[in-house]
Amino acid sequence: MQDALRLAQESDLDLVEVAPTARPPVAKLMDYGKFKYESAVKARESRKNQSNTIIKEIKLRPKIDPHDYETKKGHVVRFLKGGDKVKVTIMFRGREQSRPELGRRLLARLAEDVQDLGTVESQPKQDGRNMVMVIGPHKRRSEHKAEARAAGDKSRREQNSGA
């Protein structure tokens, strides 16, 4: 132990205990400040590359007007294109609860309408007064961001060349 401390002082390094529970304890000569900095940089990089999934929610009713359905479907399409998962909830009220097949039919229709953008991750489930289904995008969020960035760069180039 004394030899290790002397070696560390001579080489102007720190003596860092790597495995304190091992017998005998394992120590390493290193520049501890540099080690801490590099580990912080690695942690920051891994956080930057990490993609967090966002779940957006759309609420519908079994007796929905065709135009309202198209509007809600447009929102689902926008969310899926953005790389987000979509939780579609159908809320039943009163006597509607005795007709869950209406909700299932509506969810199946929505899933079919957006099948080119996403897939059903969890099938429709009755949960009290609500019926819930989750649709996930085909591409990951990072791929959508890269695609959007490329499209933005292309449109900027076209504007600059035309002006």
3-state secondary structure of 126: strand
Domain holding 26: CATH number? 3.10.20.80
Considering the domain architecture, whether residues 13 and 71 belong to the same structural domain is answered as: no
Considering the domain architecture, whether residues 76 and 12 belong to the same structural domain is answered as: no
Question: Quick one: which of 123, 58, 117 has its CA closest to 87?
Answer: 58
Chunk the chain into consecutive blocks of 10 residues (it has 163) and report each block's average pLDDT, rounded to whole numbers.
80 83 85 89 84 85 92 93 91 90 92 90 90 87 66 75 64
Query: What pLDDT does residue 76 have?
Result: 93
Give pTM, 2 decimals: 0.59
Query: What pLDDT does residue 140 have?
Result: 67
97 token code pair: 């609860």
Enclosing domain of residue 22? 2-49
Considering the domain architecture, whether residues 38 and 71 belong to the same structural domain is answered as: no
Query: What pLDDT does residue 163 have?
Result: 55
Query: What pLDDT does residue 45 have?
Result: 86
Tell me if 92 sits within 8 A of 112, measured CB to CB.
no
Considering the domain architecture, whether residues 65 and 93 belong to the same structural domain is answered as: yes
Considering the domain architecture, whether residues 108 and 70 belong to the same structural domain is answered as: yes
- Strands 55-60 and 85-91, by their bridges, are parallel
Q: Looking at the domain assignment, is residue 149 inside a domain?
A: no
